[in-house]
Amino acid sequence: MNFTFKNIMSMDIRHGSFSITAVRRHFRHSTIMDARSYPMKGSPASEKARREGLISGLEDFFERNGTNWDEIIVMLSRKSVLYGQVLFPSTVKENLSTAIEFEIEKFSPLKKEAILYDYKVVEEAPDRSRICVLFNFVKRKYYEDLVDVFGKFALKPMAIIGSPAIWEGADWLFSKKGPLDTFLIVKEGGDLIVNRYSSKGLRDSVLYEKPAHLPEEVAELCRGENGLSPVFLWGEGLEEYESVLKEKGIKSFTILPSQFYEHFTYSNAEIYNNEFIPAFCASEVIEKAPDALNLIPKKDRPRKGKLISYTFWVLIVLIFLSLAFLSVIPFLKQAATIDHLEKNLNSLSVNVDEIFNKKAEIETHLSRLNEVEKIHDRSPLDALRELTMILPEHTWLSYFRQKGEEIEVGGISESATSLISILESSPLFRDVSFSSPVVKRKEGTETFRLNMYLE
């Protein structure tokens, strides 16, 4: 598990082809490293041809980009996944999984053992009397073939989701806040998908095959249960739906792929295309919506390792706090010593007669005060001030220690070997030398540690 970045691979499977996108996430910033499309071999209806096409495409992609992936996300065609929603009394919440099993048997033409499914509560009635549950399922054989393909490369997907699920955060993706219900219309090949979203993400998905004669029906569907709802149209070729929606008084927004480009950076100009946008949205959904519908059984889902990541950053913070505290201790000790001596001097000055009678004691205290002044003259602040003035801009100190006249420093520099001549040119330092070998870092900088003495 990488702590500073994650390598994410997203595969978008269609009936005639599939695309693979490599995304590198640096904290909140994402870079598209590669994006390629591959045709399916033979007939799309042939399971063997689909399997061979996937293996061939993955072999080419892994040859170009390697197999080291922190997360693998697979998006299935809308035709491969069946969606449904059902209303339950709120009283079934405690036994929701059992109730869902009975409902899925009504929806599915296959036996329960032949499918895999996932579900989540997407809405609850204001009086909390009913809940709306969205579920999706896929053929177990289709899932097992897909997992087996990745298994040939010793890899395992973290999430397998249906294509509507990638638009879970519609308001975030489109930078538009709508009412409770929001619709998104997407074309997938020759089909039309109308996705409905609530405050908890995807609520329903309706597939229309050969939808040229259906704009009126789609407009009525988008009218919604709570009056007029905003509609987003993704991509080109939906002009007729935009016109019909406008005639019905429904406000629509056309979203073009070009509006997403400002969110990305690219490793090269060849991958500047639309293929990676659904893949990027899928990686965002898995990152921000952990309850997104995922067809991988919960017991088989790889863990994301967040506990390890959090522990790492907590340790880093503790180390920095410890270093800051240790750097202050010498100054606190010096201040405490001076304060103690001042109290002793004040007690001696109370009675002049006592001071004369204790001349030897006064001389002792004066001697100790002189030592303190010498210590003050040799304060680490002087050495630190000199180092700050003479060290070049490309050098940073992470370690400083002074013991008497000896000083040891360490840090990072773009040219560590040039530091000896720079430090020896100072009237404050002498006998400068490396106390350990210089180590080159991946970024081109060098780690160093130096010894020197005060003049």
Question: Would you give the DSSP letter of residue 256?
Answer: -
* Residue 28: pLDDT band with limits 50, 70, 90: low
**pLDDT tens digit string along 225-255?**
555 567 888 877 788 888 888 887 788 888 7
Same domain for 296 and 409? no
Best-predicted range by mean pLDDT (20-24, 288-292, 362-366): 20-24
Rounded to whole angstroms, the Cα distance separating 258 from 21 reads: 17
Same domain for 187 and 61? no
* Residue 194: pLDDT band with limits 50, 70, 90: confident
Same domain for 180 and 321? no
Asked, for residue 445, whether it belongs to a domain, the answer is: yes
pLDDT of residue 1: 43
271 closest CA partner among 21, 7, 10, 9: 21
Count of Cβ atoms closer than 10 Å to residue 287 Cβ? 16
Q: Which is more confident, 203 or 69?
A: 69
Mean pLDDT of 138-142: 91
pTM above 0.95, yes or no: no
Asked, for residue 197, whether it belongs to a domain, the answer is: yes
**pLDDT tens digit string along 66-84?**
999 988 999 998 888 988 8
**325 pLDDT more than 50:** yes
Q: Please list, in sequence order, all residues whose beta carbon lies within 8 angstroms of the beta carbon of residue 197, skipping any fewer than 6 positions away.
A: 167, 168, 170, 181, 182, 183, 184, 203
Same domain for 320 and 446? no
Q: Name the percent of the chain lying above pLDDT 70.
A: 78
Asked, for residue 388, whether it belongs to a domain, the answer is: yes
Same domain for 208 and 325? no
Same domain for 299 and 448? no
Rounded to whole angstroms, the Cα distance separating 373 from 365 reads: 12
Pairing of strands 231-234, 182-188: parallel
SS (H, E, C) 105-168: HHHCCCCHHHEEEEEEEEEECCCCCEEEEEEEEEEHHHHHHHHHHHHCCCCCCCEEEEHHHHHC
Asked, for residue 422, whether it belongs to a domain, the answer is: yes
Same domain for 239 and 192? yes
Asked, for residue 300, whether it belongs to a domain, the answer is: yes
pLDDT of residue 180: 55
Same domain for 58 and 157? yes
CATH number at residue 51: 3.30.420.40
Same domain for 156 and 279? yes
DSSP state string for 195-240: EEEETTEEEEEEEEESGGG-HHHHHHHTT-TTS---EEEESSS-HH
**280 pLDDT more than 70:** yes
Same domain for 189 and 236? yes
Asked, for residue 116, whether it belongs to a domain, the answer is: no
* Boundary of a domain, candidates 377, 394, 423: 377
Q: How many domains does the chain have?
A: 4
Best-predicted range by mean pLDDT (72-86, 177-191, 337-351): 72-86
Amino acid making up residue 383: A
Asked, for residue 97, whether it belongs to a domain, the answer is: no
Mean pLDDT of 294-307: 74
Q: Show the domain range for 155.
A: 1-85+139-168+262-304
